A = this chain, B = another copy of it.
Amino acid sequence: MPDLRSRFDELLRRLGEISDIERANLLLEWDQATKMPPLGAAARADQLGTLARLAHEHWTAPELGALLEELRELEESSEPESFEASVVRVAHWDYEKRRNVPSDLRAEMKRAASLGYTAWLEARDAEDYEILRPYLERRIALTHEYVACREPYDDPYDVLLEDHERGMRTSEVEAVFNRLKAELVPLVAGIGEPVDDSCLHGDFPADRQREFSLEVLSLWGMNAGAWRLDDTVHPFALSLSATDVRLTTRFEPDSLTGVLSCLHEFGHGLFERQVDERYSRTPLHEGASSAFHESQSRLWENVVGRRLSTWRFFYPRLQELFPEQLSDVTLEGFHLALNRVAPSVRRVDADEVTYSLHIVLRFELEREMLAGAVTPADLPDAFAAKLREYLGVEPADVLDGVLQDVHWSDSNFGYFPTYALGNVIASQLWARATGELGDLDAEFERGEFGVLREWLGEHVHRWGRVFEPAELLERIAGGPLDAGPYLAYLRAKVDAIEAA
């Protein structure tokens, strides 16, 4: 095996170089969304395109393919969960997925995504969807080219989905989403008068929201040595290494939604922070999949972040920071407001019960756009029609409608469904965690969140991409993707609110 060992070192060297290029590109993206002067956009699109091309060229180098073939022997002679077998297996999968895709196309897709992001910002400023439309058309044309490189497939959407969920098929998503739709549409339609959440709206200066958010996140495990929190238009999280984790948020001076967005992004950041550091500079060093990533953000935002026991600990401090807004609001009243259920137009502000319907409609529209049944010109109306049908709401303008989300401008199709899958997985993980650890409320009331953080680190985070998402879920939850626990959780939530 000594020669295989040196070949494996050569593999690590190549993967390390690719990882460095990919992380540098993440910094270009982070900077674009947080710091870059607006006129830097055109050059930035070129820079992102070039680095995407280089990463792709390195991924698809025939020498890498040959090296991976040589290393099959090492993979097969090692334990499947070992570092060696996992690196070779996952790298092989990544290589196969890319090898028929031309570098020019990859570069152009990245460049078009960056230009799309800038167009989205401009379209929002001008409240004019037409500014974005040609960029969306361009991106769909590139998506068709990309899908064509990846033949054969059962469903063209499979190709896009697999970029986010290794091993998952569109038909599986469809089955879960049909169940969500069948149960949630009537549940939402039957909801009575929503609770009053006016205590969440008012005068909430951004700097104090930031102060409060950082206090919560510090207690949860964030620290200035390895994390940052910055402002952006559409919040996201990413990491440049296990010890360089970047959260972003948007604080609005008239509501507390930015605080919730921080709790959400923390879940993403924690995943990246807790992947085994040994996997650094390999393809294992990322969250298991987009849906698993989202399960973590939704878990910290919703399951923990909207929980009574959590606020028993944090609410006095929040009242102290916003006495004029909150001194007359009881903990129970605040908690109820935080869990208000009411159909609304904006996904990022949606309550937990209606949230997944926002995703179902986007998934359906993506598939219709891919099939040509809905064109970018049709999109604003088609978007509004689905909002009406599933949620019974009407967007007042394009900012509340088709321009509300960044992802059609800057991300590839196949990403949106992972948000709702994340909700489903979060409920499955939570059921398992509390099955093992008890209900955790006593800990949360005392401000102790380390037990949960460590359980997630041990069972989910540290593994990075070692397991396929379905395999990881099976290991932890003892079964496949199952909307049951999530739907039960939502029904219990609705019942609790109606009983209040």
Contacts and interface: CB of A to CB of B under 8 A. Distances in A.
Contact of A43 (B38, B47, B54, B241): B241
Given A23-B43, A40-B226, A241-B40, A50 B280 contact: no
A51 interface: yes
Interface string A18-30: 0011011101100
Contact of A27 (B27, B37, B49, B53): B27
A224 B51 contact: no
Contacts of A36: 240, 244
A20 B39 contact: no
A163 interface: no
A404 B349 CA distance: 50
A21 B54 contact: yes
Q: Which interface class (under 10, 10 to 19, 20 to 34, 35 or more) fits A?
A: 35 or more
16 contacts: A17-B54, A20-B51, A23-B47, A36-B244, A38-B225, A39-B244, A40-B226, A43-B240, A43-B241, A43-B242, A43-B244, A43-B281, A44-B240, A44-B244, A46-B281, A54-B54
Contacts of A23: 43, 47
A21 B24 CA distance: 10
Interface in A231-258: 240-245
Pick the most buried of A25, A43, A226: most chain B CB atoms within 10 A of its CB.
A43
Nearest to A17: B50
Contacts of A43: 23, 240-244, 280-281
* Interface residues of A, dominant DSSP: helix
Given A24-B47, A27-B31, A47-B24, A39 B243 contact: yes
Interface of A: 16-17, 20-21, 23-25, 27-28, 31, 35-40, 42-44, 46-47, 49-51, 53-54, 224-228, 240-245, 280-281
Contact of A243 (B35, B40, B47, B243): B40
Contacts of A40: 226, 240-241, 243-244
Contacts of A226: 37, 39-40
Given A51-B20, A280-B43, A244 B27 contact: no
B225 A35 contact: no
Contacts of A28: 24, 27
A478 B465 CA distance: 64
Which 7 residue pairs spanning A and B have beta carbons closest together?
A40-B244, A43-B241, A39-B243, A20-B50, A39-B226, A20-B47, A39-B225
Given A24-B28, A24-B51, A228 B35 contact: yes
A9 to B, nearest CB: 15
A37 B281 contact: no
Most chain B CB within 10 A, of A28, A50, A242, is at A50
Contacts of A38: 225
Residue among A16, A37, A49 having the largest count of chain B Cβ atoms under 10 Å? A37
Nearest to A242: B43
B35 A50 contact: no
A27 B26 CA distance: 11
A43 B241 CA distance: 6
